[in-house]
Amino acid sequence: MRSELTRRTFLTTAAAFGAAGAASTQFPQDLGAPRSGYGERSPYEKSVRYFRDSPTPGTGASRTPLQDLYGIITPSALHFERHHAGVPQIDPRQHELLIHGLVERPLVFSMKDLQRFPSVSQIYFIECAGNSGGEQAGQPGADPQRSHGLLSCSEWSGVPLKILLAEAGLKEKATWLVAEGADASRLARSFPLSKALEDVLVAYGQNGEALRPEQGYPLRLVVPGWEGNVNIKWLGRIQVVDQPYMTRDEAASYTDLMPDGKARWFTFEMEAKSVITRPAGGQVLDGPGFYEITGLAWSGRGTITRVEVSTDEGKTWAEAQLNSLVLPKAVARFSFPWRWDGGETSLQSRCIDNTGYIQPTRADLIAVRGVRAGPDGFNHYNGIKAWYVHRDGKVSHE
């Protein structure tokens, strides 16, 4: 028999809908915002880069807020920066790349020329040689951004450098390259030809669009797995040579001083490193219970094959899960299930890459290289990082 809508049923139903309507007043009732020509993030998202300036005009750095990121790709707008003479404004219609030196045919490429060549897109990290250096000096960063934020990972698009070198024709004595930027400092670095023929990109794209000015627009080098300073931004010139050139930047700044007074030179590779980004310094746990530990691991030597996590101050270690893509010379996202009992402890991670290299402790590194005083410590520091969980739920670097 068909049911009928009685007065009592109608009033009951209406009251229920009224209550639902009252509850929904927390949502916007007006027409939403119009479309925009270039998308913006929600005004409720406040993640920004942390800036640290140098006394030298135009010199300074900004750090990526690693603790706020998901996955492995850094948004272009949050990629870390390191400048030596400010950010030049370059018209791509006027910009050119010169390749000369020990080549059969010195060539000049416009941006249009470069975009006619076969292109590739690859995901690679870029890390400043000084990233996390303060950790060894006893001045640890208070959160992942301040401790490890001179690291970012993007999809880079451009022309393999080996294609351009083939166009120019290499002479028999060619063994090294000197790349120079078009910024006011004319920052230049030497690197071996063998690396150029392996995987170096002349990039004009980042994360699906043109490079940002701070990332070298309109053209930069991407030298996978090697220290950030070699990844020359605003690339304007490549000279093919028969030996390393002792440029100002590789002789004065980017060497690794050792305890005996000698310096390691051309330590290009960024060795295996990891950091927990949640829970981490500056964050607060709501109380005992389940939490997912997550973080990033990377290696300039190749591919991360394993990450281990300790939740008991390094007494024991357990294997974490590697999530999503695990690519050569790109960051890998790891996660580990953890149930906090409310007690004092520390959280640590260590990684292993496909060469068998194991991320060392701070003590291991100091035993070889000593301690370098000052807030920046020494370059190429990759020691294990500890975050301390306190009974009140606060997580800190000490």
Q: How does pLDDT run across 90-136, given as a tens digit for each residue? A: 999 999 999 999 999 999 999 999 999 999 999 999 999 999 999 98
State the number of CA atoms in the 13 A half-sphere of 271 facing the CB.
16
* Tokens describing residue 100: 């000369």
End-to-end distance of the chain based on CA atoms, in angstroms? 73
Cα distances (angstroms) measured from residue 143 to each of 253, 286, 341, 365, 386? 26, 18, 23, 22, 11
Q: Around Cβ 277, how many Cβ atoms within 10 Å?
A: 26
The contacts of residue 183 (CB under 8 Å, 6+ apart) are 83, 84, 85, 86, 87, 88, 233, 234
The answer to whether 198 and 351 have CB atoms below 8 angstroms apart is: no
Q: Which residue has the higher pLDDT, 255 or 111?
A: 111
Q: 167-190 pLDDT, tens per residue?
A: 999 999 999 999 999 999 999 999
Domains and CATH numbers, the chain: 83-259 (3.90.420.10), 273-396 (2.60.40.650)
Peptide bond before 192: cis, by omega within 30 degrees of 0? Answer: no
Q: 10-65 pLDDT, tens per residue?
A: 445 445 445 444 444 466 678 988 999 999 999 999 999 998 777 777 888 999 99
Mean pLDDT taken over the chain? 91
**Burial (Cβ within 10 Å: 0-12, 13-18, ≥19) of residue 146:** buried
The Cα–Cα gap between 85 and 56 comes to 9
How many residues in total does the chain contain?
A: 398
What pLDDT is stored for residue 28 in this prediction?
A: 64
The Cα–Cα gap between 12 and 51 comes to 59
